[in-house]
Amino acid sequence: MNAETTRKIRLIMHLRSMGISDTKVLSAMERVPREEFVPKQMIDQAYEDIALPIGRGQTISQPLVVAMMTQVLEISDRDKVLEIGTGSGYQTCVLAHLCRRVYSIERHKPLLLQAEKMFDRLKLRNITAIAGDGMKGWPDQQPFDKIICTACAQGEPPQALLDQLKPGGMMIIPVTKDNHQVLRRYKKEGEDDTFAVKDVMPVRFVPLLPNLAPATENADDEFNKIPA
């Protein structure tokens, strides 16, 4: 057993101890090689339960947060999932092992291009990703069974995302609350836009921003990846 495998097993055991009980979520996280999604100089930290920078001012989320967001959504293999914030593509790949199809939107085109290479490398064929404004969702592909947003909304989620949920569908999104961020689940109760809302855990995410990011935005980030 190599050191990477040992670290991965230790992380899975840690996630179990922190309340991640869905065996399908744990299995998906075990199957996705997190070391492939972090900067080379940080590979030794890939299986620590911490967020890590990936360039363009963005991060790969803490494994516990990835697991909790995924578990709370109760994803099935029939679900069509919208992800806002592709980032490194790590969360996308975890989702791809659990659902029928993932549609993912990233506002930083260099990150998207890097993530798409990883999807090909891992032979994940049920992911469709575009560069765009995640706050608008993906109207052409609505409605979605589940939506996951990996950036923090100011106060309330964008109405466009709530509108694109199926009745009975769920969205997980970090929002600001009393000057702090909290991970919140919205479950669409029916056709009349009523939602059951549940706070899950305190978190720290980058802000949810509109529009495509200009090429100059955080272009000098020291952790920017250079596409292979």
Does the annotation count 61 as an active-site position? yes
CA distances from 103 to 84, 143, 198 (A): 9, 11, 24
Candidate list 17, 61, 76, 88, residue with the active-site label: 61
Helix (H, G, I), strand (E, B) or coil at 167: strand
Are 38 and 48 a contacting pair, CB within 8 Å? no
**Rounded Cα distance, 202 and 218, in Å:** 26
For residue 39 the two structure tokens come to 């900067």
CA distances from 95 to 70, 119, 177, 224 (A): 7, 12, 27, 24
Q: What value does the CA radius of gyration of the chain take, rounded to a whole number of Å?
A: 17
* Strands 127-131 and 101-106, sheet pairing: parallel
Query: Where does residue 158 fall: left (phi above 0), alpha (psi -120 to 50 degrees), or beta otherwise?
Result: beta
- Positions marked catalytic: 61
